[in-house]
Amino acid sequence: MGITTQASVNVLNGNLASAWNNGNPGGSNSLLPSIPGNALANPTFNVAESAPPVYDSFAGVIYFGEWGHFGQLFTNNGDYKTNSATRYLANFPAFKDLGGINLGDQPKVIKLFGTGTNFPSNTGDKVNTNNARTYEAPTLVGFSDGAPASSFPDSGAWCRHEWSQGVAVPDSATKVTFGAYIRTPADDLFRSLNCGGVYIWQDTASSPPINVYINAIVVKKPTDNIELVTGTQSAGLNSQQQWSGLSDTKDVDHYDLRWNDTSIIQSIDYKSTSDHQQFRKVEKEVTLQSGTSRRLGLAMFFGENQGNLDESGNPTGSIQFYNPFVIFE
Chain segment 53-83, per-residue pLDDT in tens: 888 999 999 988 899 999 999 999 999 999 9
- Please compute the mean of the pLDDT values over residues 169-178 and round it to a whole number: 97
Yes or no: say if 141 and 128 are a contact pair by the CB < 8 Å rule. Answer: no
CATH number for domain 35-328, candidates 1.10.287.990, 3.10.290.10, 2.60.40.1180, 2.60.120.260: 2.60.120.260
> Does the pLDDT at position 129 exceed 90?
yes
Strands 211-220, 262-272: pairing kind: parallel
> Does the pLDDT at position 17 exceed 50?
no
DSSP classification of residue 238: H
CA distance 209 to 206: 9
CA distance 113 to 198: 14
Yes or no: say if 62 and 68 are a contact pair by the CB < 8 Å rule. Answer: yes
What does the pLDDT read at residue 37?
A: 95
Average pLDDT, the chain: 87
Torsion, Cα of 20, 26, 27, 31 (10° steps): 70
| Sign of the torsion formed by the C-alpha atoms of 139, 141, 145 and 151 | negative
What does the pLDDT read at residue 5?
A: 34
pTM for this entry: 0.90
Domain-wise residue ranges, the chain = 1-30, 35-328
3-state class (DSSP) for residue 273: helix
> Does the pLDDT at position 237 exceed 90?
yes
